[in-house]
Amino acid sequence: MTVIAHVDMDAFYASVEMARHPELREVPMFVGGSSRGVVLSANYPARRFGITAGMPSSRARRLCPQAAVVTPDFDHYSAVSVGVAEIFDTMTDRVEMASIDEAFIDLTTALRRLGGDPVVVGEELRAQVMDEQGIACSVGIGPSKFIAKLASKQAKPDGLVRVQEEEVIAFLHPLPVEAIWGVGEATAGRLHRLGLTTVRDLANTSRPTLQRALGDGQGALLFDLAWGRDDRSVLAKEPSEHSVGSQETFSRDTDDPALVVTEILRMADRTAGRMRAQEMVGKTVTLSVRFADFTTITRTGTLKAYTDRTNDIYAEALRLFEKLGLQRARIRRVGVRAEKLVPKSQTYRQPVLDEPSHGWEDAEEAIDAAVLRFGPQAVQRARLTRRGEMLTAAG
Q: What's the CATH code of the domain at 255?
A: 3.30.1490.100
Look at residue 299 and give its three-state secondary structure: strand
Contact indicator for 250, 292 with CB cutoff of 8 Å = no
Instruction: Give CA–CA dist 344/328, Å, rounded.
Output: 39
Pick the catalytic residue: 17, 96, 102, 364? 102
Q: Does 113 map to a domain? A: yes
Task: Name the residue range of residue 142's domain.
Answer: 1-172
Instruction: Say if CB 88 and CB 237 are below 8 A apart.
Output: no
Does residue 193 share a domain with residue 168? Answer: no
Closest CA to 171 of 197, 137, 148, 194: 148
**How many Å apart are CA 383 and CA 133, to the nearest integer?**
31
Residues 153 and 52 in one domain: yes
Strand partners, 342: 281
- Decide if 69 is inside a domain: yes
> Any alpha helices (H) in 309-386, and if so which ranges?
310-324, 360-374
Q: What per-residue confidence (pLDDT) applies to 352?
A: 53
- Element (DSSP H or E) covering residue 48: none
Q: Which residue among 157, 172, 187 closes a domain? A: 172
Decide if 365 is catalytic. Answer: no
- Residues 243 and 345 both lie in one domain: yes
Report the alpha-carbon distance of residue 197 to residue 195 in Å, rounded: 6
**E strands, the chain, where?**
4-9, 29-32, 39-42, 68-70, 95-99, 102-106, 137-142, 160-162, 243-254, 280-291, 296-307, 331-339, 342-343
Q: Which residues of the chain carry a pLDDT beneath 50?
A: 240, 357-358, 378, 387-395
**Is 8 among the annotated ligand-binding positions?**
yes
Residues 218 and 258 in one domain: no
Do 150 and 179 contact (CB within 8 A), yes or no? Answer: yes
pLDDT tens profile 338-365: 998 888 888 765 555 555 544 556 666 6
Is-contact 142 163, C-beta < 8 A? Answer: yes
Q: Domain containing 190 — which CATH number?
A: 1.10.150.20
